[in-house]
Each structure stands twice: as structure tokens, then as C-alpha cells.
């Protein structure tokens, strides 16, 4: 497929932005000025000011002499880049690859995009009309190369769609400035009477290089498509992404669901062919008013089961507010992993941890109650209770050591032991009473002590004597005394709760 590019030129980028913010300026001549070596120079002019002969680079004093009552605004150095970046992100609804072309343009790689709008001409006209509706006066063109699109947008016919067969003829008819040449080269060409590209394009390349330098030949080759030129996209295109433009804005929940189903069907089929699946997915809905609605999901194991993935998205689709309508849906696998082949068995006993059905069940639960509500833990080779386990990265992570089950351990372990008040302590015995969070507990049964020493190669401190106790209400707790009973600094703590 041959490459196609669109260049967009904002004739009055900064001043159009001022008019959008202050509509009263629309028919008023005004300029943007900045200090330069002790004087004020014009950096941007409005269309009304340009019509009265004012130009960029002119001294502000001369401009005021030409146009009495001229309004002047201070220049904002980073404003052009910010505006182009925002406009470039907006154009992502038309192509996934858009780049900023300072100081006043955008470059779009539109290869394979135009057919979704009924052809290249309607596609380009749609972009121009939308930007004009925002309040920006633009010139735009489509061609096979970035250089050709740039040249035609600024020096050719606005809205032109130039085919491969006519591109060279159009470029040759334009002035040398259309080749993005330096001012010194343009001045020299002007002095020599070379007012069109055709005036020197057929000259020997060696003579052109000797007289004007290699830059002229490089720009000429780029414009004519002889040398490839790349753009630097505003956003890196994910390797697994699908787009669905809408001929009419989508306003209903049913329409959003249908769009998601189509995207999942296409992207899941592609992932399946490559042996991969979603781990995290992001759905973006580009609204007519310029805002973007987003919802995301995650899975515990790579999946390309579109029915399961749709169920995960289904509850979150309600949060998408279409407002005036959604004109583009984008689904991307922000993280994709290899899909492991399912192990077949002749019979099963219960739900296996590595089964697909179990992983999908966990996905649905975490999607409803939150990713942090369900965790899986694996044993670690440590005696100290806080270090004896770790959170598993995924359901498929294998254990490297067995759980220690020779001693009772609580179902819920506090991340940090909490101090308790005890009464009637007896050496090497649990307390008869303890108070925790303001509530008094009378101990009826107790088991212990179990002494756990600190791992001296990791840290220093007192040992712990643990007791499993039961109060008069039948609740069971895991208590410990830190340090020896006959030491002055011993204290009691609660560390967990038994089922």
C-alpha cells in the first residue's frame, strides 16, 4: 500500500486562538509582539491586521504608525507548541499517526484511513471543515510524500488531493519556498531569477550541490517522493490496536456495545493468530465535543476470549457519557502476553488454580469489587511471620517452597502487630485478660508458647513468644509477648485472627 500524507497549515494559529477565546477580536486588527534587542517585533498577525499590510517580523512601532489604534498582546513562547500538540491529539480520531510541525502545522500519516470516510477528498474536506468550525483558518493537502503535502498546503490549492501521477507536475509549478529551504538559499535563487521549482529541477545535480549545497537536493527529493521521510508521532501507536470510526455519532448504550463487540472480534482474532492474549485493555471513545471517555479492564491470565472480555467491559460501559455523540472508538491491548496452551485432563477434582474457568471467575470478581480486593499469596522461606509469605504476581506463578503447617497460623495476619493491654500476666503463660481497641476479652483457652526468633542476618531485636487464645465469645486470636518476661521492655501484641 502506497503511503499517503496530509499536511495542515494553520494560517493564523496564535491569533485564531485569541479570537476563539475573545470573539470580539474577530474583525479587529491586532498583533502579538515580543521584545527583541531593545525593540518590540511582531511575532503573529491576525487576518484583519494582515489585510492592512502588517506582517510577522515587522517592528511594532512601524505597525502602529500604519494602523492607528492597533491592539497588541504579549507573545507566549510555548503557546504554539501547546496548541499544536492539543490539535494533534484531536486529529488522532482521523489517523493514529499525527505529528507536530512547528511553528504552525501538523503532519498526518493517513495511509489506509480515507476509505472509512468514503474516499480521500471527503476525508480531507471533513478535517478542514471541523477545524474551520473550531475557528481556525487552515490550508491542507494530501499527497504521496510529506514534502509534497507540505508544499501544496501552503503554496498550492487548499483542499487539494494530489495523486502519484500528478504530484511531480504540481511540485514543479510551485515557488522554491515550497521546498522548505533556508532563507539564504531562497535569497540566492531569487537573485538568479529562479522563481519556480521547474526552473532548476532539471539542472545537473552536481551543479546544484556545488552552488546551493546538499540541502536543496535533499528537500527536492523529499518533495518528489524520491527520498523517504518519516514523522515523529505525538503518541506511539500500540502494536495491538483497532479503530472504529462512526459514520454517524453514537448516542446509545446499545451502539457502544456493538462497537465494542466489533473491536473485540477483530483484535481477539489477530491476537489468537499470534498466540497472544489481553492482560490489560483500554477502550477510548472520542466524542464530538473533543473529549475522550476511557474504560479499562485487566485479566489474571492472557485471554483472547471475546465473550469473556466483553463481560468484563460490560459493567464499565455505563460510565461512558456520549454527550453529543461518539465519533471514534479505539481498543488497544496495553499489555499482551503469550497464551499458554490449556492442559487437557481425563478427569478433574474441584477447580484447579491454573484452569481457564477459574481465571475468568477471578477476572469477573476483581472487575466488580476491585483489583486489590482479591489476592493470592505464596510461601516464603522465612520463620518471621511478616516475611513468611509474598503476594503472587499472577495465578500461574509457581511456589518455590511448601507452606509450613506444623503449627497453627491465623487466617488473617495483621500487616503490623498492634499493641494490647493485658492484666494478670503469669511468667511463661498467656494473660488472663487483654484489651484490644477498647474491648475487654477474657481468655478461656490458650495454646503455646511458640517461640520465634528474629532472623539476625536481616535485622536485630527481641524474640516473640506466640499464643493461640480463645475468649469467652469463642473468638480466637494470635497473641505474642515481645522479649523475655523478666525484662523491663517486654510488651504484648495481637498479630492475627483465626477463623
In the beta sheet, which residues pair with residue 336? 278
Query: What pLDDT does residue 428 have?
Result: 72
What is the per-residue burial (b if ≥16 Cβ within 10 Å, else e) of 445-469?
A: ebebbeebeeeeeeeeeeebbbbbb
Q: What is the pLDDT of residue 360?
A: 67
Cell, residue 316: 464499565
Give residue 343's pLDDT.
47
Q: What are phi and psi of 490, to 5 degrees?
A: -75, 150
Predicted local confidence at residue 483, as pLDDT: 83
Instruction: Please state, in angstroms and rounded to a whole number, the distance separating the CA atoms of residues 495 and 492.
Output: 10
| CA–CA gap between residue 136 and residue 11 (Å, rounded) | 8
pTM tops 0.75, yes or no:
no
Q: What is the pLDDT of residue 396?
A: 66
May I ask the CATH class of domain 241-338?
Answer: alpha beta
Each domain of the chain, given as residue ranges in start order, spans: 1-237, 241-338, 412-497
The CATH architecture annotation of domain 1-237 reads 2-Layer Sandwich (3.30)
- Identify the segments of the chain with pLDDT beneath 50: 343-347
Going by their DSSP bridges, the two strands 97-101 and 105-109 should be labelled as antiparallel
The set of long-range contacts for 158-166, using a CB threshold of 8 Å and a minimum separation of 24, is: 158/128, 159/121, 159/124, 159/125, 159/128, 161/120, 161/121, 161/124, 164/2, 164/225
Per-residue pLDDT tens digits for 139-185: 999 999 999 999 999 999 989 999 999 999 999 999 999 999 999 99
- Nearest-angstrom CA–CA distance, 130 and 115: 18
Amino acid at each position: 500500500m502506497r503511503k499517503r500524507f496530509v499536511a495542515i497549515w494553520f494560517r493564523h494559529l496564535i491569533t485564531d486562538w485569541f479570537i476563539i477565546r475573545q470573539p470580539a477580536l474577530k474583525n479587529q486588527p491586532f498583533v502579538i509582539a515580543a521584545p527583541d534587542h531593545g525593540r518590540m517585533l511582531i511575532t503573529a498577525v491576525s487576518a484583519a491586521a494582515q489585510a492592512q499590510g502588517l506582517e510577522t517580523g515587522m517592528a511594532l512601532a512601524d505597525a502602529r504608525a500604519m494602523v492607528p489604534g492597533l491592539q497588541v498582546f504579549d507573545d507566549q513562547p510555548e503557546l504554539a507548541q501547546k496548541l499544536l500538540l492539543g490539535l494533534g491529539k484531536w486529529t488522532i480520531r482521523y489517523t493514529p499517526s499525527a505529528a507536530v510541525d512547528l511553528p504552525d502545522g501538523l503532519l498526518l500519516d493517513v495511509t489506509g484511513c480515507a476509505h472509512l470516510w468514503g474516499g480521500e477528498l471527503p476525508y480531507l474536506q471533513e478535517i478542514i471543515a471541523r477545524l474551520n468550525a473550531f475557528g481556525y483558518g487552515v490550508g491542507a493537502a494530501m499527497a504521496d510524500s510529506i514534502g509534497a503535502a507540505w508544499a501544496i498546503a501552503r503554496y498550492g490549492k487548499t483542499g487539494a488531493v494530489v495523486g502519484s501521477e500528478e504530484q511531480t507536475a504540481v511540485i514543479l509549478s510551485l515557488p522554491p519556498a515550497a521546498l522548505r529551504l533556508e532563507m539564504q538559499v531562497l535569497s540566492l535563487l531569487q537573485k538568479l531569477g529562479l522563481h519556480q521549482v521547474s526552473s532548476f529541477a532539471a539542472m545537473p545535480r552536481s551543479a546544484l550541490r556545488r552552488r546551493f549545497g546538499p540541502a536543496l537536493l535533499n528537500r527536492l527529493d523529499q518533495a518528489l517522493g524520491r527520498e523517504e521521510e518519516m514523522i515523529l508521532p505525538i503518541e506511539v501507536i500500540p502494536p495491538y490496536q483497532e479503530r472504529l470510526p462512526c459514520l454517524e455519532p453514537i448516542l446509545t448504550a446499545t451502539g457502544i456495545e456493538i462497537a465494542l463487540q466489533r473491536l473485540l472480534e477483530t483484535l481477539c482474532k489477530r491476537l489468537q493468530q499470534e498466540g497472544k492474549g489481553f492482560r490489560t485493555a483500554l477502550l477510548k471513545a472520542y466524542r464530538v465535543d473533543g473529549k475522550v471517555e476511557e474504560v479499562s479492564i485487566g485479566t489474571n491470565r492472557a485471554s483472547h476470549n471475546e465473550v469473556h472480555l466483553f463481560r468484563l467491559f460490560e459493567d464499565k460501559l455505563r460510565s461512558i457519557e456520549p454527550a453529543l455523540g461518539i465519533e471514534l472508538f479505539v481498543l488497544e491491548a496495553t499489555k499482551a502476553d503469550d497464551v499458554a496452551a490449556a492442559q487437557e485432563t481425563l478427569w478433574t477434582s474441584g477447580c484447579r488454580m491454573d484452569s481457564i474457568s477459574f481465571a475468568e471467575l477471578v477476572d469477573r470478581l476483581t472487575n466488580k469489587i476491585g483489583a486489590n480486593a482479591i489476592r493470592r499469596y505464596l510461601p516464603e522461606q522465612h520463620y518471621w511471620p511478616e516475611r513468611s509469605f509474598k503476594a503472587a504476581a499472577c495465578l500461574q506463578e509457581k511456589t518455590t517452597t511448601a507452606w509450613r503447617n506444623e503449627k497453627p497460623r491465623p487466617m488473617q495476619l495483621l500487616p503490623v502487630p498492634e499493641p494490647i493491654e493485658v492484666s494478670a500476666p503469669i511468667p511463661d503463660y498467656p494473660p488472663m485478660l487483654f484489651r484490644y481497641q477498647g474491648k475487654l476479652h477474657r481468655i478461656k483457652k490458650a495454646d503455646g508458647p511458640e517461640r520465634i526468633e528474629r532472623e539476625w542476618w536481616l535485622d536485630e531485636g527481641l524474640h516473640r513468644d506466640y499464643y493461640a487464645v480463645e475468649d469467652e465469645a469463642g473468638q480466637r486470636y494470635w497473641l505474642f509477648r515481645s522479649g523475655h518476661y523478666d525484662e523491663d521492655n517486654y510488651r504484648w501484641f495481637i498479630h492475627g485472627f483465626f477463623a
